[in-house]
Structure 1
Amino acid sequence: LLRDVPGITLLRRFASLCAVIFGTNGGVQDVLRPNVMGCFGGSSSKSDAEEDKRRKEANKKIEKQIQKDKQIYRATHRLLLLGAGESGKSTIVKQMRILHVNGFSEEEKKQKIEDIKKNIRDAILTITGAMSTLVPPVQLQKSENQWRVDYIQDVASSPDFDYPAEFYEHTEILWKDKGVQAAFERSNEYQLIDCAKYFLDRVATIKQLDYTPNEQDILRCRVLTSGIFETKFQVDKVNFHMFDVGGQRDERRKWIQCFNDVTAIIFVTACSSYNMVLREDPNQNRLRESLDLFKSIWNNRWLRTISVILFLNKQDLLAEKIKAGKSRLEEYFPEFAHYQTPSDAVIETGEDPEVIRAKYFIRDEFLVSEFLYAVS
Structure 2
Amino acid sequence: MKRREFVKSSLAGTMAMGLPVLPTFSTVVAETRFGVADASYMMRRYRNMKSEAYPPFANALEMIEHCNSLGFGGMQVGVGGWDSDFSKKVKKRKEELDIFLEAQIRLPKNEDDLDRFDREVQTAKKTGIDVFRTACLSGRRYESFDTMQAFQTFKKAAINSIQLAEPVMHRYKVKLAVENHKDWRINEMVAILKRIDSEWVGVTLDTGNNISLLEDPMEVVEALAPYAFSVHLKDMAVEEYEDGFLLSEVNLGTGSLDIDAMIMTIKKHRPNIRFNLEMITRDPLKIPCLTEKYWATFDQISAPELALYLRKIRTMKTKEQLPRISNRTTDEQLALEVENNRTCLVYAKQNLGFQ
User: TM-score scaled by structure 1?
Assistant: 0.29
Q: Which has the higher contact order (CA 8 A, sep 6+)?
A: 1
User: TM-score scaled by structure 2?
Assistant: 0.30
